[in-house]
Chain A
């Protein structure tokens, strides 16, 4: 399946390229460079005790499947049908009305029909019909069934690692069929026969071992936080306290680990540090549970649960009252919809109460973990912090709703409330590209790596296109978001499609606007970009 160089003559003929008209079931996939992910490293798979670790690559002909792979998948399939009503119902009830078809950013950006959510699901459904329904067993192809062959398996691998589990399709489906859910099942099945991708399994193994996706050891984590404290002091003149692994603190704070190491995440970290100091929060970081993001969500129920377990265990060990979570999308999918079920009940914690405003976060009564947007908007609402939004006047901002907070949580107004208080120039993107209809960054769910950059750029086109619109029309120059994956993957996306628009987190803006007691006059924003001279200066 590797790309063969074509003869010049063939090339000339293929210029008038019109794709062949064939039924999708009869068209095998081709692994073009730039559209797929590499297989997972053997040592990481072993570290996580995942099945059938081996060296292989998607472009190879032979994937070295275990001999009884069909049996394994059949059994795994049945198992999951019996365990998940969602899966069984979604396999049965799609009417192929096509309402979801053009809602997927990958389809919109690539035009590949198998990227229509309905067809992505049909890849699995066709096998379901063949193996598990009477009609399929009797009528086979006529009933839309097909046998599970290596070709089909390759197709699964290709297309289920081209779904970012963003749930946009599910918003438009009359039955709420959620292709993300189907993708999760498919990825679990692929894992059963050892087909994994590296950008999911390596971070997962690293998080499991060291607590962050890069595999940085505890002292490195501490260094990072201390470095940020130093830098914040340079910028503001205020030395903040950032306790790590402190027993008896009131609150455990968990952020995605990219916030400590990556740019532009880092400026959000500065924002958190400044805010917590200013309101005098009694909190602690943890080096053990230093990753809120959960790569297990993209892999399997088990891996998700294993990674997630750390947060509650650490909260218990440190004896905190409740947990506060930072800006991250898939982290919040797990915390909001899965954590309590997976690793609860959190009866050793208390119902979260903001120590500053006294607000009881009733909506987190059971899970006992609060989103930082909820926390900060509550602070602002109660006038507990002094803000100077003028310090963000060099930014004309728009806001990208990350898929998970929007469609798996409903966190829509809180971030907007905060932005409106810390920035003077906030412009929304068009209605059909934000809130519950938001377009994915195109790189979520473990697909944000460089080997599939072309695919990501295609998938990100709808998002970038809307950014471009407000950039051209309203001079927007920064795209805010509350997700670590977004902060990592939107910059390259925009660099390609809309150069001149930066990416940042909301708490970076909070940090800029926050007037801290005893601070020096801010000469630069948190990025170190000098503010224009005030009146009386040279000129503007």
Chain B
């Protein structure tokens, strides 16, 4: 006897479920993207098996339809869930079963943060100087005239005070214009022999352009002992710069004037970009200016409580941004302080 449409449909749905289970059992772990898509089409596609059965609904008595609809929905949900669960096993770049590994598909990287390129350079410089048995110096960014100028042999009327335009604060205070102020504070706290490297923010009233920002960083080092001389200064800076740039370099001293050193010099290294053939970075000279250095002026030694008849000191003060810019070929210093992730995450 012919079955009623209702029973017939229920039967068909049940069969469909069993069919799927049997097929899945057969496949076992061999599920890949291709098989997954195939299953999905066969069972759930527009012309799939489930859709086929649904078309027969019209033949059922209208009184039976709600009941059939309910069964139909349950089965549909079951099948959907079964197949969706398979999909989870094949998603993303990961594969299971026998699908080969696709080396070109991206790995799932955990979110990584990095230090600012300036901080990275600061840490690298600390590490170099600590390997050379230097101590790390720290000090305030708000300074007074004494440590920023007077102690460094720059009395009020000294023309050198005009070389740097200073940000002035109330109560005769200022934002430090050089890290040598910190060196002076640290020296004062100790007796020779001392070896100190101080790195930090410095401030000058320069409008921002591609090579100036009102705030920048300096590293300032001093070494005071009974037998320190200018040859040591040159040797030390040569060693350190080669480590910073990870390259063999030529170096040179050029006469210059900084009130806190005597003799004083400007320190240049051979251009790492053009190998001294001349390029825009070295302005065609083949040399890159790193900053000032020299032997501590006897006045400065006296001002921090040392006896200039007994000890000499070498000193240098360089920018931190400059080596970073040279190393990574960054042409605009302002990028460091715009904090654009597209920039910061490159280093």
Q: Do A and B come from one complex?
A: no
Chain A residues proximal to chain B, CB less than 8 Å = none
Chain B residues proximal to chain A, CB less than 8 Å = none
